[in-house]
Amino acid sequence: MSIIAVAALVAAGPAGAQDGPAGATGPKPAATAASSTAARKVFLGVGGSYIASRTDCTNCDEEGVYWDGWAVHVDGGLTVNDRLDVGAEIFSTHTTTAGVGMRSNYALAVAQYRPWASRGFFLKGGIGMVFFRGDTYVEGHGTADVKTRGMGVHYGVGWLIRRERRVAFAPFAGHYVATLGDVQGSDWLAENVVSNNWVAGLTVIIR
């Protein structure tokens, strides 16, 4: 998570959703009254992104291999208040190298927080499951069709453009981590496989 991003988060003033000593007082942001009507609204987002990926394991080559590819995603959920959205996300990555493709589908519970209610900057985090399938290329062993599942974790930042409109846009950057445990191929066993995926893309959001 970006240091600057979190600094901005905590510098942003009182949190609308909080009921602790700090959040319990202070004037509500100017946007609160207007946005309170948006509370509990449903949102839907679709988007795409470029992805750079590095997958390794405890018995893999230390240096690992970087691949790249693309990803699509669908978000849906509720606007809790003028700062917080919660919901679910399907994030599907497709990475290729030497003509061999792999696909990971993340199913995550996500939360998106805007430190400033009046600005578009947001932080996003999520956790859930990841489903992996594809021809997995292993040096020295060729390819093998692998299907497995594991845990997915995500964090990222972005900026919501036209946030007051029905259709908004959100360029974002983030990090998706898929941890799959042991993955077995035809004649190999990759132990404790972890895939790090750095992404940059755009989401179109409809409210």
Partner 1 sequence: MKGRRRQTVLAVSVSSVIAFVAAMPAAARAQDAAAPLFRMVAPAPPTEGHEDPALEPRTRTSLFDVGQATTAEPKARRACDGCPVRRPVFATVEVLGINVIYNLMNRLKKPPDLAQFQVKPSDWWQNLTHGFEWDGNAFAVNQFGHPYQGNNYFNAGRSNGLSFWESAPLAALGSATWEYFGEKDRPALNDLINTTAGGIALGEMFHRVGWLVRDTTKTGGARLRGEILGTLIDPVTGLNRFLSGDATRVTAKPADMIPVQIAGAMEAGVLWRASNTTLSNAAGSPYIQVNMQYGDPVGSPYRQPYDGFNVSMRLGGGAPISEATVRGRLHGHFFGDPAAGRQLMVVQAYDYVQNSAYEFGGQSVVMVFTRQRHAPEGTNLVVSAAGGAIILGAFSSPYQYGEARDYDYGPGLWAGLGATLRRKTTPVARLSYDMRLVHVVSGTSGNHVAQHIRADGLIPVRGRLRLGIGLEYVRRKVYYDYADDLDEHYPQARVFLTLVDK
Q: What one-character-per-residue DSSP string does 91-131 give?
A: EEEEEEETTEEEEEEEEEEEEEE-SSTTS-EEEEEEEEEEE
Kindly indicate which of the ranges 7-15, 35-43, 131-139, 162-170 contains the residues binding partner 1, using the contact rule CB under 8 A.
7-15
Count of residues binding partner 1 (CB under 8 A)? Answer: 48
What is the spatial distance between Cα 55 and Cα 63, in angstroms, rounded to a whole number?
A: 10
Smallest gap, in angstroms, from Cβ of residue 166 to partner 1?
Answer: 28
Question: In degrees rounded to 5, what are phi and psi of residue 79?
Answer: -85, 110
- Would you count residue 189 as binding partner 1 (CB under 8 A)? yes
C-beta neighbour count of 180 within 10 angstroms: 22
- Would you count residue 142 as binding partner 1 (CB under 8 A)? no
Q: What is the DSSP letter of 186?
A: S
Q: Which of 67, 91, 106, 113 binds partner 1 (CB under 8 A)?
A: 113
- 46 vs 196 by CB, closer to partner 1: 196
Angle, CA 11 vertex, CA 7 and CA 16 arms, to 5°? 120
What is the spatial distance between Cα 14 and Cα 170, in angstroms, rounded to a whole number?
A: 24
What is the spatial distance between Cα 51 and Cα 73, in angstroms, rounded to a whole number?
A: 12
C-beta neighbour count of 134 within 10 angstroms: 18
Q: Which of 38, 48, 56, 94 binds partner 1 (CB under 8 A)?
A: 56
Smallest gap, in angstroms, from Cβ of residue 51 to partner 1?
Answer: 13
Cβ–Cβ under 8 Å, residues 110 and 124 = yes
Kindly indicate which of the ranges 15-23, 34-42, 97-105, 131-139 contains the residues binding partner 1, using the contact rule CB under 8 A.
15-23
| Tokens matching residue 5 | 């991003």
- 96 vs 179 by CB, closer to partner 1: 179
- 3 vs 98 by CB, closer to partner 1: 3
Smallest gap, in angstroms, from Cβ of residue 127 to partner 1?
Answer: 6
Kindly indicate which of the ranges 32-40, 43-51, 91-99, 173-181 contains the residues binding partner 1, using the contact rule CB under 8 A.
173-181
- Would you count residue 23 as binding partner 1 (CB under 8 A)? yes
Sign of CA dihedral 25, 15, 18, 204: positive
Q: Which of 80, 110, 170, 194 binds partner 1 (CB under 8 A)?
A: 194
Smallest gap, in angstroms, from Cβ of residue 10 to partner 1?
Answer: 4
- Would you count residue 7 as binding partner 1 (CB under 8 A)? yes
